[in-house]
């Protein structure tokens, strides 16, 4: 089996009897800037930091490829609906040092006899989840130590 990676319990891999692989992988990153207005001058720009990265990709869930589309969609919907953040790993390497949240699933489904899901091509939209900001936690700890009441 050729291992490709994983996102939580969704494992990307391929062999002659099984195929669950990401495709149409798009990655977007940006930066944040604040423009400060000045009288009689052009605004001055201040770099505020990087934006959270965003990733979008499709996966093919096909019963003929050894995948139960309904079961995989159930797993993905649970990740989305519970707010679980997970690592996204491709080729044994995490995409970033941060985890990812699943923002949305856009489904395109085919049914057999109108009841059995045999093929689905969900498009997953993920946003980086950066948990390195501890300022609020540290402030709460300080309030507790000093006994401040707000």
pLDDT tens, 76-99? 999 999 999 999 999 989 999 999
The per-residue pLDDT of the chain, averaged, comes to 89
| Percentage of residues in the chain having pLDDT higher than 90 | 71
Residue 34: both structure tokens together: 């604040």
Question: What gap in Å lies between CA 61 and CA 108, rounded to an integer?
Answer: 10
| Whether the Cβ atoms of residue 55 and residue 70 lie closer than 8 Å to each other | no
Question: What gap in Å lies between CA 70 and CA 72, rounded to an integer?
Answer: 6
| Percentage of residues in the chain having pLDDT higher than 70 | 87
Q: Is the pLDDT of residue 11 over 60?
A: yes
- Number of alpha helices (DSSP H) and beta strands (DSSP E) in the chain: 2, 15
Question: What gap in Å lies between CA 119 and CA 69, rounded to an integer?
Answer: 6
Give Dmax (Cα) for the chain. 70
């Amino acid at each position: 089996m050729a291992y490709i990676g994983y996102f939580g319990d969704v494992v990307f891999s391929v062999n002659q009897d099984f195929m669950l692989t990401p495709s149409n992988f798009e990655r977007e990153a940006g930066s944040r800037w604040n423009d400060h207005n000045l009288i009689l001058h052009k605004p001055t720009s201040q770099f505020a930091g990087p934006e959270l990265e965003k990733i979008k990709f499709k996966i093919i869930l096909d019963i003929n490829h050894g995948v139960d589309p309904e079961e995989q969609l159930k797993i993905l919907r649970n990740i989305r609906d519970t707010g679980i953040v997970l690592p996204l790993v491709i080729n044994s390497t995490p995409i970033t040092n941060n985890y990812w949240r699943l923002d949305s699933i856009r489904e395109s489904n085919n049914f057999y006899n109108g009841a059995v899901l045999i093929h689905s091509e969900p498009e997953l939209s993920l946003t980086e989840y950066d948990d390195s900001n501890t300022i609020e936690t540290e402030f709460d700890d300080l309030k507790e130590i000093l006994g401040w009441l707000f």
